[in-house]
Structure 1
Amino acid sequence: MKKKLMAVMSMALVLACTACAETNTAGSVPVDNEEQVSAEQIIAELPQETSDEAAKAESSEGDNDTDSLVAEQTPSGYELVGEALSEEELTEISEKISSAEYNGFLTTAYETAEDIDWTRVLYCGADIGAINEASDEEVAAYLETAGTEEYGDILSIKRADLEAYVQKHTKTDYKSAKNPYKGTYVEAYDTYYVQRSEGYLYNYKCLEGAKDGPVYTVIVENTEYGSYDKRSEFCFEKEGDTLVVRSNRILWEEQAKSRFDVAFTQYVDSKCEIYCYENGYVLLVVDGNSKDHVFAEYDSKRMEVKDVASFDVNGDGYEDLVLIGSADNCDHVNIFKYDEKRVGLFPDEECDLEIDGKLGTSIDMDSVKALIET
């Protein structure tokens, strides 16, 4: 209520200052010169509970400063609960999460610490891994255990270091992880090994943030990677200089034109969403992370997606993705069949054209499904 009051009082001040002006400046509220409105009149019309808040605000200058800071630090419209973080605090957090120690926590989405995908978090080593420092004997043991040949850099992480890292940054036992690290474990060396291309650390900037009790929430932007996962909502607690991670939600909806809930047999017990963006770009998000993408097209032109469904088109036991979209002032069908071997969705243009030809201009999802099932 305090922030609402401040907004109204600010508006009242603008009105009082511009009531006699013949033309309002950009951002001000138009005022009838013949019927001027005073700040006292506006405040008098507020609900009683807001007036009570005004009295409390006037008795506490510190509260006013805090609310003003919150209002100034949330220009983007994010709903952040708590006391706004200062620019100094945001800069400090930005530097931390851009370091190797924390960088991986922003590359994946998770609702709780137990949901973290440790393969993605530890991809660059997180300051506990070593690149190409394993002995020849270790490498030979790893390659034999993994049943593979040497083809790239080898990242090695000691089991004890991994478990200590998880405990320090999440306050959870690594054994409770739902998505454990997928490195190859060699018992003789008590170490995980994985071959990978050179890792890359992203530069992150905290746009704004707030603290609610012990919980910090910051809106983070990847300043180097301009994709649809550019921003996320990162939550953590602080324990001295350590960030204890709680969750990270990628803001897929920021640039999306529409969103649909879908269900796929192949992703059982997972939350599946379809996000549609400009130029026919369609993204499948599973449990908050990007799983696959397709382009809604007809005759080489991008469609504006109007409806989305998932059902088994070819009877192989897996749900396929069906899109209905508009191009050239007509509705068309796009079908993307799930390929188990390639683990992804792939277009079936022949099927698209056949359905379009049979349904003509009367295309809706029920008619598409009925035609496929016959």
Structure 2
Amino acid sequence: MKTKFLLPIIAATLIMSGCSSVELSDSSSNSNIESNNDSSDAQTKENAQGEASDGDSDKKEAESSEPGEALSDDELSKFTDLFNTSEYNAFLEDGFNSPEEIDWEKVIKLGAGISSEDCSEEEINDYLKATDRSSLTEYEKLRVIKKSDLADFIKRHTGKDLMPGNDDIDWEYIEKNDSFYRAIWDSDVRHNGYECISGEKAGDKYTLRLKVSQEKSVNIETTSYYGSDADRIVKFTKSGDDLVFESNEIQWDDYCVPEQTFDVELPQYDSPVHFVTYYEDKEQAEMVMVKDGKYISRFVPIFTAENNSVVKTKTIDAVGFFDIDADGNNDIAIIGDSDHGKRLFIELATPDEDEAFTYFADFGEREIKEMGGDLTISGAKKALLNNDKNDKYESYKEAYAQVAKIYKCAYDNPSFDLSRVAFDLIYVDGDDIPELVVGLPGYWVSLYTFKDGHTSCLMNQWGYGAMGNAGYLYAKKGNVIYNGNADYAGALYYNTYMSIHDDGKLATDYWTLDYNFNDIDGNGVPSEEELASSDDYETKTEYHSEIDANMSEAEIKKAIAKDDSLKFEDIAGDKDYDTIMAQLGK
């Protein structure tokens, strides 16, 4: 490696970065970061730099020695206008390091300038049939993108054939028309606007810096200047009238808090993630986690004080990563300070949900001391873990005892009666390892299974008992979970049949929709007139399969009838904490 070539690159990187990583060390008082991983930030940085080849170094040196020509104010203005068109605006929403990483679902969410609202009556009917709908509402418009137009759009803006599969974007593909369709609601038409504030060009290659503009945003009340609203540095080649994109780098580290901004390796990710903290809102600390420049999750630690006031966390003292629910994924412990003192916040890793992490519980100094710990990361581990381990559990009993413990910690406090939390062991699928139920009967229920040394959360505090949701039932060792859910006071009723699939996840197999009213206008929504005329109406039922789109109605009915023949019991729990721990041998 030619060190003299690499040093300017490292120096330039440090200058451009708003914050640098801090050293990960369990014993370091400066970093205030702990992880159950053996790797350190120093190792991470070494891996990130790698062994640059002579050719790579020569190329980088040549590139850095030839600065581009600064763009004129007129050019910047033209790019501002261009990046606020429907064709280009959405390229700035998510970061990407290469064309292969572009999220085409987001790029075309509002049509990208290649969609049309000129759909024939036949096309509208095709869409309604494909989506099991009877009509469009007055608040949505059907748009169509021809598949060939999308392929051409992607090729023009990447220079590559990166056409996604028909099922890889959230538009309905209708084969007979070889086109994608989507009903776009009026409320969907909202996005950030941008202003191009600087840029340079070298031949036909451009590098621009754009900032979020409140003035140019559409249907967005407020914008910021950091985090997901930070500046973008976008690189592309101009090819005729088209921009061929190379990358879009969101400047996550701008305005960050250096001592609480760092890289960390977590077992659920194949490369380090980047944790960034902001104090730009003087009353509320904020954090984001990104990976390879792309958003993973956001954290805004707040809590409810004993007087029921909402308290904001102003500063962050420490951040730690360890597995509290025995699933093999590291969760996050955040210790922050506020006008009401210090607080520990726990964010659970939820890789199968929209957010990669979700709030689980928070603890004050008194609670954490009663649990045998203190408001440090090591003290949090002592309070929350039966043992400080991040490897596999020897049995389901050991793993389930850990899960039960964290629920005890979360709900055993003066503001909540732990006896209201119910536990149980039930047998959902056909094996001899039971599933663990944790719930607040009448409100929510969680369900865990155990395989290969770790738990897996099948149901994460699924709510019921309100808004028409009757709750969840299971057939012992039948691998069927049923849910009934009413809408419009029972005018619509959904019956959902789920099972644990081969990948270990709980997923829907079949569902039906009962129309218990006379749907005169065919829009699927009951009006007062329709309800008044439905006294003698005979229920109409739609049948759907999520495992085989080609199943006939008769085949779906037969499969559902087989499930219905099983004996079902409530998934709610009927044991207190001490009883379930005794059952687990603890």
- TM-score, scaled relative to structure 2: 0.45
Q: Are the structure 2 counterparts of residues 91 and 307 from structure 1 closer, same or farther at C-alpha, using a change threshold of 3 Å?
A: same
> Which whole-Å CA distance do the structure 2 matches of 1:202 and 1:246 have between them?
21
Q: Would you say 1:327 and 2:327 are equivalent positions?
A: no
| Structure 1: runs of 5+ lacking an equivalent | 1-79
From 138, 144, 149, the counterpart of 1:161: 149
For this pair of structures, how many residues does the alignment match?
291
Q: Would you say 1:290 and 2:295 are equivalent positions?
A: yes
Letter in 2 for 1:283: V
Q: CA deviation at 1:271?
A: 5.5
SS at match of 1:104: helix
CA contact 1:100–1:201 (8 Å) conserved in 2:
no
Q: Which residue of 2 aligns with 1:182?
A: 170
Considering fraction of residues, name the structure with more helix.
1
Q: Would you say 1:311 and 2:322 are equivalent positions?
A: yes
> Which whole-Å CA distance do the structure 2 matches of 1:211 and 1:341 have between them?
42
Q: Are the structure 2 counterparts of residues 323 and 119 from structure 1 closer, same or farther at C-alpha, using a change threshold of 3 Å?
A: same
Q: CA deviation at 1:339?
A: 4.6
Q: CA deviation at 1:180?
A: 5.0
SS at match of 1:223: strand
Matches within 5 A, 1:134-149: 134-147=119-132
Q: Are the structure 2 counterparts of residues 102 and 301 from structure 1 closer, same or farther at C-alpha, using a change threshold of 3 Å?
A: closer
Q: Are the structure 2 counterparts of residues 355 and 141 from structure 1 closer, same or farther at C-alpha, using a change threshold of 3 Å?
A: farther
Q: Which residue of 2 aligns with 1:336?
A: 347
> Which whole-Å CA distance do the structure 2 matches of 1:102 and 1:320 have between them?
37
What root-mean-square deviation, in Å, do the aligned CA atoms of Structure 1 and Structure 2 show? 3.0
Q: Which residue of 2 aligns with 1:363?
A: 375
Q: CA deviation at 1:86?
A: 1.6
Q: In terms of mean alpha carbon deviation, does 104-113 or 88-97 score higher? A: 88-97
CA contact 1:124–1:200 (8 Å) conserved in 2:
no
Q: Which residue of 1 aligns with 2:385?
A: 373
Q: Which residue of 1 aligns with 2:556?
A: none
Matches within 5 A, 1:130-279: 130-131=116-117, 133-147=118-132, 150=136, 152-175=140-163, 180-198=168-186, 199-200=189-190, 202-224=192-214, 226-227=223-224, 228=226, 229-257=229-257, 258-263=260-265, 268-269=269-270, 272-278=273-279, 279=284
Q: CA deviation at 1:145?
A: 3.1
Matches within 5 A, 1:68-83: 81-83=67-69
CA contact 1:124–1:201 (8 Å) conserved in 2:
no
SS at match of 1:349: strand
Q: CA deviation at 1:287?
A: 4.0
> Which whole-Å CA distance do the structure 2 matches of 1:218 and 1:332 have between them?
42
Q: CA deviation at 1:311?
A: 2.9
CA offsets, 1:176-212, max 9 Å, x none?
79x9533221111101122333323543211111124
> Which whole-Å CA distance do the structure 2 matches of 1:203 and 1:364 have between them?
42
Q: CA deviation at 1:327?
A: 3.1
CA offsets, 1:121-178, max 9 Å, x none?
11121110123x323332333344345665533221110000000111110102479x
CA contact 2:278–2:287 (8 Å) conserved in 1:
yes
SS at match of 1:249: strand
Percent of residue pairs bearing the same amino acid type:
28
> Which whole-Å CA distance do the structure 1 matches of 2:318 and 2:132 have between them?
45
- TM-score, scaled relative to structure 1: 0.68
Q: Which residue of 2 aligns with 1:5?
A: none
CA contact 1:281–1:295 (8 Å) conserved in 2:
yes
CA contact 1:99–1:201 (8 Å) conserved in 2:
no
From 91, 94, 116, the counterpart of 2:102: 116
| Structure 2: runs of 5+ lacking an equivalent | 1-65, 218-222, 306-310, 387-586
> Which whole-Å CA distance do the structure 2 matches of 1:88 and 1:206 have between them?
11
Q: CA deviation at 1:318?
A: 4.1
CA contact 1:217–1:235 (8 Å) conserved in 2:
yes
Q: Are the structure 2 counterparts of residues 176 and 194 from structure 1 closer, same or farther at C-alpha, using a change threshold of 3 Å?
A: closer
Q: Are the structure 2 counterparts of residues 305 and 83 from structure 1 closer, same or farther at C-alpha, using a change threshold of 3 Å?
A: same
SS at match of 1:129: coil
> Which whole-Å CA distance do the structure 2 matches of 1:91 and 1:347 have between them?
43
> Which whole-Å CA distance do the structure 2 matches of 1:282 and 1:247 have between them?
24
Matches within 5 A, 1:50-69: none
SS at match of 1:203: strand
SS at match of 1:367: helix
> Which whole-Å CA distance do the structure 1 matches of 2:124 and 2:321 have between them?
45
From 324, 348, 358, the counterpart of 2:360: 348
Q: Which residue of 2 aligns with 1:90?
A: 76
SS at match of 2:384: helix
